Structure 1
Amino acid sequence: MLAQIVLFDGFDPLDVVAPYEVLHAGGAAADGALTVELVTAEGPREVTAGIAPLSLRAVGRLDPARAGLVVVPGAAGRMPRGTGPADDGSVPAILARALDTGLPPLLKEAVDRTDVCVATVCGGSLLLAMAGLIGGRHAVTHHEGMDALASTGVRAVRARVVDDGDLVSAGGVTSGLDLGLHLLERELGPQPALFVERLFAHERRGVVWRAPA
């Protein structure tokens, strides 16, 4: 299985690196059953994180026809206060700029494909929601964005990880570790997930909420 982790300008680096390392280590432990790459809507390029001057290099283009798993991070920025317009450095503003690129149609293709699992960390679910792609689905985001997520028509669930079939989401930034471990166990079985959990000295925490069958 190929996992593609999406980068866009202003992404939160921990949202990317945590699941990347977990999935990469799990794939290696499972004899290469899962590989991971960083991608953008545009193809290979250097992508600036929301925490300057950090950047990561994408090696390819988001291609839901190739990927079995697509991971969407959130943004690193300020949370807006009050009801006034979001400033340019706020998380909603960064996500809005990401939607003004070639990313939305590729994300829509990923969401629409029954053979692709789309996973999100932190504000990644809000990015999908702002694009109108997950209305009526169950998802979680950072606790400060839960009301905004619910306002888009998403069924916001307060849990560490929310598994809604081919849509899996995780809450705050460190939950990317738990998301990666959950995906490993779901896709490759418990042994690779347990191996990585021990390797990283990380005990999974919080609740994995699963949508009713």
Structure 2
Amino acid sequence: MLVQVVLFDGFDPLDVVAPYEILGTAMTAELVSAEGPRDVPSGNGLLSLRAVSRLDPTSADIVVVPGALGPLPDGIPTILAATLSTPLPALLAEAMSRPECTVATVCGGSMILGMAGLIEGRHATTHRLGLDALAANGVQVVGTRVVDDGDLVSSSSVTCGIDLALYLLERELGPEVALETERMIAHERRGTVWRAAWELSRRG
């Protein structure tokens, strides 16, 4: 399976690195951007990461969208909103049009989808400070660490990206793979993953 983790100017490094490392233990994972190969600066100037290719919504099995890192209260919303003027929303819309592709978000990543009008009526979560804003974009907000709405899987605050990645391993490859990875990184997931009723029915 191919996992593409999206980088954009101002991304939160932990939102990126944790899912990239965890999913990369059992899948092919790569860092990408909407513009193609480039060095992408994270928020607060902490570091840059190299996008090795352009986000390819026609071939990715999982696309991970991180949140942003910046000063509160206005820095993070400004960074997230700036992505709307890039090719990213169109590429994410194309990914979401493929039922076989799962779009996963960490922290404010779901806000990008919400502001782009891509998840109206869908169930999702985000950082607690952004729940009202996400709801204002027509999203059915669920206040849990991980929300599974079928081909949309979202997680709330920054460290929840670890739980998100482990859940995706379990969902796609089975509990044995997820458990072995948990042991390797000495992390225990907590909380209940909220799953949409239709998704539970589909999976039997």
Same structural fold, with TM-score higher than 0.5 when normalized by the shorter chain = yes
Shift of 1:78: 2.6
State the distance in 1 between where 2:44 and 2:173 align.
Answer: 33
1:30 aligned partner: none
- The answer to whether structure 1 residue 36 and structure 2 residue 29 are counterparts is yes
State the distance in 2 between where 1:144 and 1:178 align.
Answer: 19
- The answer to whether structure 1 residue 202 and structure 2 residue 187 are counterparts is yes
Which SS does the other structure have where 1:118 is aligned? strand
1:67 aligned partner: 60
1:15 aligned partner: 15
1:152 aligned partner: 137
- The answer to whether structure 1 residue 78 and structure 2 residue 62 are counterparts is no
State the distance in 2 between where 1:5 and 1:21 align.
Answer: 10
Shift of 1:50: 0.3
- The answer to whether structure 1 residue 119 and structure 2 residue 104 are counterparts is yes
- The answer to whether structure 1 residue 50 and structure 2 residue 26 are counterparts is no
Shift of 1:51: 3.0
Which SS does the other structure have where 1:51 is aligned? helix
Unaligned 5+ runs, structure 2:
199-204
Instruction: List structure 1 runs of 4+ shifted beyond 6 angstroms.
Output: none
Which SS does the other structure have where 2:39 is aligned? strand
Identity, in percent, stands at 65
Letter in 1 for 2:52: V
**Cα deviation digits, residues 132-159 of structure 1 (max 9, x gap):** 0000000000001000000000000000
Unaligned 5+ runs, structure 1:
28-33, 81-85
Go from structure 1 to structure 2 and tell me whether the alpha carbon gap of 1:13 and 1:41 turns closer, same or farther (over 3 Å shift): same
Shift of 1:92: 0.9
TM-score computed with the length of structure 1 as normaliser: 0.91
Which SS does the other structure have where 2:170 is aligned? helix
State the distance in 2 between where 1:139 and 1:24 align.
Answer: 24
